[in-house]
Chains A and B, each alone.
Chain A
Amino acid sequence: MSTTILRHRRGLGLGLVAWLAGILFFLPIAWMALTSFHSEADAATNPPSFAASLTLDGYREFFGTGGGASPWPALINSTVASLVSTLCVLLLALPAAYALSIRPVKKWTDVLFFFLSTKMLPAVAGLLPVYLFAKNAGMLDNIWLLVILYTSMNLPIAVWMMQSFLAEVPVAVIEAAQIDGARLPTILARVVAPIALPGIAATALICFIFSWNELLFARVLTGVVAETAPVFLTGFITSQGLFLAKVCAASLVISLPVLAAGFAAQDKLVQGLSLGAVK
């Protein structure tokens, strides 16, 4: 009896430790959110003013009503680059994954590993030729160049993830449908899609996150016209007097799509980040 009570008590203790760890890790984000609603004067006090009155000034400043540069062009650029590149990734990855799982070509594992190996080579090594190409082709500061690059960055991840999702579709079901006389489009729509759709959605969310976060290429290849949200954020690297609330508001607003997409894809996040190696 006493050992079970002891174990129970220790279980409670460890649960408490877990809660503490969760709160500790979340604290910087909570503090960022709170600070974004403080006035600049209250945001920069030492000791920190936890109970200062709340205001939307930080957000007003960020959205440019205070006279600074408006973040809207950058936010729109990021949205376009992320959404269009994700769409391109899906269009290229879906047929490829089909040819690697449901109707596998010979040596399909080799092809799969080729895709993976491109992801493991550091992007920075290809940066200069891409820059020189863009400069000569007149594509510097052009959002469509980023769309192409982000598509190539995310394609390996998407092929790997979708291969593993499509592989879950039982071959027997597909064959049964074929025997019943169903043609390929029908099979894809009626049999494959319902099973694979949640996985495809998660893949899309993860590709969206990576595109939205990207800084290095966007920083080098874009200027005033095509700058993305992370590039806009680099404007806050050097201090500008009292600007903490504005920084926090900006960081939070620009992180919101990623936080939303990440929580939506939570269950499949591991699988995507480990390139499908872990389920």
Chain B
Amino acid sequence: MTATTTAPLATTPVRTVKQPSARLRAWAARGPLLPALVFMIVVTQLPFVATLVISFFDWNSLYPKARRFTGVDNYRQVLTDADLRHSVWTTVLLTVAVVLASLVLGLALALLLDRRFRGRGVVRTLLIAPFLVVPVAAALLWKHVLYNPEYGLFNGLLHYVGGPQPDWISNTPLLAVEASLVWQWTPFMMLILLAGLQSRDQQQIEAARVDGASDWQIFRHLTLPHLRRYLELGALLGSIYIVQNFDAVFTITSGGLGTANLPYTVYQTFYQAHENGLASAAGVLVVIGSIIITTFALRVVSSLFREEASRA
């Protein structure tokens, strides 16, 4: 657990090559790595460079001859355009709300599942299922089968208790999208936190219990500090995936009613409005936003990575 035990970084014998053919051997060792590395650079890094270049051009694909260099004009336009600015805000709101709600729910479920009870495996399977529905299918399910004001399940159940019959998507569009995403992402958070709970030091907890610590004290002073990293990891991975969400917004509201987030706006700007330059500028802004999240994420992942590695 601690730094005193040898990390595999140190235990994997660093095969120091001191023979004359050292360089050849080093390349032989790198060889298996190269196809994957080259493939990744070509397919994922080059498009980003292209995006960056296009973002400095005024380029509507319907008028290809009018293409010209405009410097940072696109960025100015993206940052001053009310719709685009709104989509930045929507992205933040959507991501934060979904990540927080699914983390809290996921934690509660993980704590419930960390205990022994009859049928625990079945309950775990039931809880994972929402995450394993194809995202478009899940969005369709919420849009048509649950939310529909006339024959949706929600209003059907409300009918039994004589409740109101709201039009969920029209009344609270963003919340409607968020609820469907929370349903899908809570299992993800639960799985990560459950893994965290099960990696606790059981002896320490037993010792605390023998010393008369209450359940709440154990949770507050032992479990929660241990879970901190797992909570961070869940939040960061969740943010990375949900910032990029397209399926739910596209399916449930088609970006209408003020729910267009950045990925949807980028899609719309170039696919429907054919504004290549503007779309690229918006894309670059998404990248900058994710780099900020990524910097933190990489730090958390690398600290967990070291901890897990040193425990093994």
Interface residues of A (CB under 8 A from B): 11-12, 14-15, 17-19, 21-23, 25-26, 28-29, 31-32, 35, 43-48, 92-93, 95-96, 98-100, 103-106, 109, 111, 113-118, 120-133, 148-149, 151-152, 155-156, 159, 167-168, 171, 209, 212-213, 215-216, 219-220, 229-230, 233-234, 236-237, 239, 243-244, 247-248, 250-252, 254-255, 258-259, 262-263, 266, 269-270, 273-279
Contacts and interface: CB of A to CB of B under 8 A. Distances in A.
A99 B263 contact: no
Contact of A128 (B36, B51, B157): B51
A18 B105 CA distance: 12
Interface stretch (B75-83, B170-178, B217-225, B295-303): B295-303
A273 B193 CA distance: 12
B39 A255 contact: no
Interface in B1-37: 8-9, 11-15, 26, 29-33, 35-37
Given A15-B117, A92-B36, A120 B290 contact: yes
B115 A11 contact: yes
B60 interface: no
Given A234-B251, A247-B144, A278 B233 contact: yes
A4 to B, nearest CB: 13
Contact of A247 (B129, B140, B262): B140
A278 B192 contact: yes
18 contacts: A19-B123, A28-B142, A95-B35, A103-B15, A111-B33, A113-B302, A117-B294, A121-B287, A122-B290, A125-B266, A126-B44, A126-B48, A129-B48, A130-B47, A212-B134, A219-B250, A236-B144, A255-B137
Contact of A215 (B45, B142, B250, B294): B250
B183 A25 contact: yes
A94 to B, nearest CB: 8
Contacts of B196: 278
Nearest to A265: B132
A270 B195 contact: yes
B136 A118 contact: no
Interface of B: 8-9, 11-15, 26, 29-33, 35-37, 39-40, 43-48, 50-51, 54, 108-109, 112-113, 115, 117-120, 122-138, 140-146, 150-153, 155-157, 159-160, 183, 186-188, 191-192, 194-196, 199, 230, 233, 237, 240, 243-244, 246-247, 250-251, 254, 262-263, 266-267, 270-271, 276, 279-280, 283-284, 286-287, 290-291, 293-294, 297-298, 301-302, 304-305, 308-309, 312
Contacts of B160: 47
B263 A93 contact: no
A23 B126 contact: yes
A215 B36 contact: no
Nearest to A252: B137
Main secondary structure of the interface of B (DSSP, over half): helix
A156 B137 CA distance: 26
A104 B29 CA distance: 8
A11 B129 CA distance: 25
Contacts of A244: 144-145, 151
B136 A215 contact: yes
A251 B133 contact: yes
Most buried by A among B48, B126, B287: B126
B136 A25 contact: no
A237 B301 CA distance: 37
B117 A14 contact: yes
B155 A28 contact: no
Contact of A152 (B43, B120, B271): B43
A124 B156 CA distance: 38
Nearest to B269: A128
B141 A32 contact: yes
A149 B43 contact: yes
Contacts of B132: 209, 255, 258-259, 262-263
Contacts of A251: 133-134, 137-138, 140-141
